[in-house]
Structure formats: structure tokens, C-alpha cells
Amino acid sequence: MHSEPQRLYRPLAAVPRLRWLRTALVFGIAGWSGFYVMAVELLSGRLMAPSFGSSIYVWGGIITVFMLALSLGYLLGGQLSLRAPSLRKLGLILAAAGLSTLPVLLFGDAMLDFLFERVSDPRYGTLLASTALFFVPTVISGMVSPYAIRLLVRQLSASGKSAGSLYFVSTFGSAAGTLMTSFYLVLWFEVNQIYAGLIATSLLLGALALPFDEVVDA
């Protein structure tokens, strides 16, 4: 393990009064990431429908890609948490997931047209389109949970409890994201407006974590 340079000042998060804020941010980021993934996934069905329809296999293709990406993200997030984990980095992961969704807004339609022209079977069309547009942001989103658990765990005996609360918050976020998107957001906004709002929120939450750069070494 590498060692951090000796600091001459107390990191912000080390101030006892801010400890609750630090924990709240870890949970907030994990919960938001759960919200984000489900909102993005539901809306991706909307993007696919004009080119590939809304048959059951279109949803099958979308869900497959999201699950594969998440599984890979869990692995990578766990690996990354071995090296000097900090809340700042968690914030950067969240922001990166948001930024990597931008191509959906910028090139989504062009990509879908391109694939519609070349892939006549809507099953493989959906699989390719969701991979091209959503694989990277979803891998990065998958990194959030294991990384956040690393930040929460203080002692081995309570690690299961930390993981449990983290799963609770992130899956609760997913439920909220699913409900809000399908019941209300699509009624109020356009799909791309919702995507833009989701990305902006991720960047904002990520930025809030930037001051907390102390490395957790417990």
C-alpha cells in the first residue's frame, strides 16, 4: 500500500461535527446511484421503441445488458476500493457515471438509426444498442455500492451490518427511481430532459463529495 503524505491541516471530514455529513453523503450517493440506474434503464426502453419496438425481447435485451454491466461494475468497484479509498473518489465515480451518460443525449438517435439500418433482428439490435449506449455508465454505476461499503466499514464484526444498510439504501433508491420515472417524470418532462436532470444531479452530488479527500484506512 502506498502512504499518504503527512498533512499539515486537519481534513474537513475529520472534524467530528462533520462525521454525520460524511456518512450521509456516502448513503446519499449510493441511494442516488440506485435511483439513477433504474431511471436510465426505464428510459432506455423509450429510446429503443421507435427503432426496435417494445416487444418482450426488447426489454430482455435491455435488462441483460444492465445486469451484465452492473455485475462487472461490482467487481471493479471492489478492486478499486483496495487502493486509498476516499469519499472524494466515490464522488468522482458518481460524476463519471453521469458524464458517461452524456453520449446518450448527444448521439443516441444517430446510434439507433445506424443500428436499425444494419441489424434487422430487433433482438440483437436492442442488445447492441443498449451495449453501445448504456454499458459504460452502468459499469461505473455498479462500482458505487462496493466502494461505498468500504467507506462505511469500520470494524470486521460490523461489516455485514454496513453492507446491509448500504444495500437497503441503494435498492430503496432503485425503487424510488423506478416509481418516480414511470409514474411521474415521463408525464412532466421529455425523455432527454429527464436524462439531463439525472446527469446534472449526479454531477452535483459528486461535487459535494470533493472536499472529503481523507483516505479511509481503518
**What residues line the site for other proteins (CB under 8 A)?**
46, 49-56, 116-117, 120, 122, 183, 186-187, 189-193
CA atoms within 13 A on the CB side of 76: 16
User: Which CB sits closer to other proteins, 31 or 125?
Assistant: 125
In the bound complex, what is the minimum distance in angstroms from residue 175's beta carbon to other proteins? 19
Closest approach, Cβ 54 to other proteins, in A, equals 6
Determine the Cα–Cα distance for residues 34 and 205; give it in Å rounded to an integer. 13
Using the minimum distance from each CB to other proteins, give the nearer residue, 96 or 194.
194
Question: Closest CB to other proteins among 2 and 117?
Answer: 117
Q: Are 212 and 10 a contacting pair, CB within 8 Å?
A: no
CA distance 152 to 194: 31
Considering only CA atoms, give the Rg of the chain.
19
- Give least dist CB 174 to other proteins, A: 21
Shortest CB 182 distance to other proteins, Å: 9
- The residues, any chain, with a CB within 8 Å of residue 205's CB and separated by 6 or more, are 25, 28, 29, 32, 91, 94
34 touches 174 (CB < 8 A): yes
CB closer to other proteins, 106 vs 210: 106
Q: Which is nearer to other proteins, 4 or 113 (CB)?
A: 113
Residue 10 cell numbers, joined: 486537519
Q: Which residue has the cell 476516499?
A: 86
- CB of 198: closest distance to other proteins in angstroms? 15
